Amino acid sequence: MKKKIIYVSIFLVIILFLLMLLNDKEEEIILNSKAEEIEVIDDICYVDIKGEVVNPGVYECVNNDKVIDIINKAGGLTKNGNTKLINLSKRVNNEMLIIIYSNKQIEDAKKRLNEPTVIEIIKEIEKECICPDVVNEACEFTDKPEEEINVKEETENVLSEKININTASKEELMSLPKIGEAKALAIITYRTTTSFQNIEDIKNVSGIGDALFDDIKDLIEV
């Protein structure tokens, strides 16, 4: 009788042990399944592509997709699309913005780089990017330190020479922050009848207030 009890006890222990193993296995399977689901969800991203593609918009992708894959999802380039300034091999990420430029936009950007104004040079240093839009995350970035040094030196040289608002040309005036063609012509028109006695006098020109003056006061002289 005692032997029978011992055998039954051993049998129950074995059954209990097997049940525990089975339960642990099921929990492991569930955890692995959930981990795989989370991994799949994390791997999905959404990218916004604008500009010269056939079907601009937001596209679902995976994190190992490249810019060229998103262009293809958007139906490819239009006849005016140009990707010379775009890094087609760049991997995309969630909420990324891609802008595909037209041939004209590329040409205009190249002209600005060849004949930079003070503001264009400053923008070039700040973003280190040769695309027209700093927000374009598919843009090619300059990766040559010597080029960056040259641009910085050029900027320092330009900014070290203040612009005389009594004698500056329209183009020189337009190199100042927030001074477009209309304001430059307004400055020239004003000084033809009344010369500037001090830099504060520029606030007498229509369209130039205290805020704009604060932006340019360190760059001008009389």
* Number of Cβ within a 10 Å radius of residue 169: 11
In whole angstroms, give the CA distance from residue 71 to residue 52: 10
Query: Distance of alpha carbon 188 from its chain centroid, rounded?
Result: 37
What pLDDT, on the 0 to 100 scale, is given for residue 106?
Answer: 81
For the chain, the average pLDDT equals 75
Kindly state the tokens that stand for 79.
């006849």
CB 49 within 8 A of CB 59: yes
Considering only residues 116 and 67, tell me which one the structure prediction assigns the higher pLDDT.
67
What pLDDT, on the 0 to 100 scale, is given for residue 57?
Answer: 94
What pLDDT, on the 0 to 100 scale, is given for residue 72?
Answer: 94
> Which structural domains are found in the chain, ordered by start?
44-116+127-141 (3.10.20), 162-221 (1.10.150.320)
pTM: 0.43
Question: Between vectors from CA 17 to CA 14 and to CA 23, what angle results, nearest 5°?
Answer: 140
Band of residue 64 on the pLDDT scale cut at 50, 70, 90? confident
In whole angstroms, give the CA distance from residue 160 to residue 25: 73
In whole angstroms, give the CA distance from residue 88 to residue 61: 15
Kindly state the tokens that stand for 38.
């989370």
Band of residue 148 on the pLDDT scale cut at 50, 70, 90? very low
Considering only residues 119 and 104, tell me which one the structure prediction assigns the higher pLDDT.
104
In whole angstroms, give the CA distance from residue 50 to residue 46: 13
What pLDDT, on the 0 to 100 scale, is given for residue 36?
Answer: 55
- Tokens 């430059």 map to which residue? 184
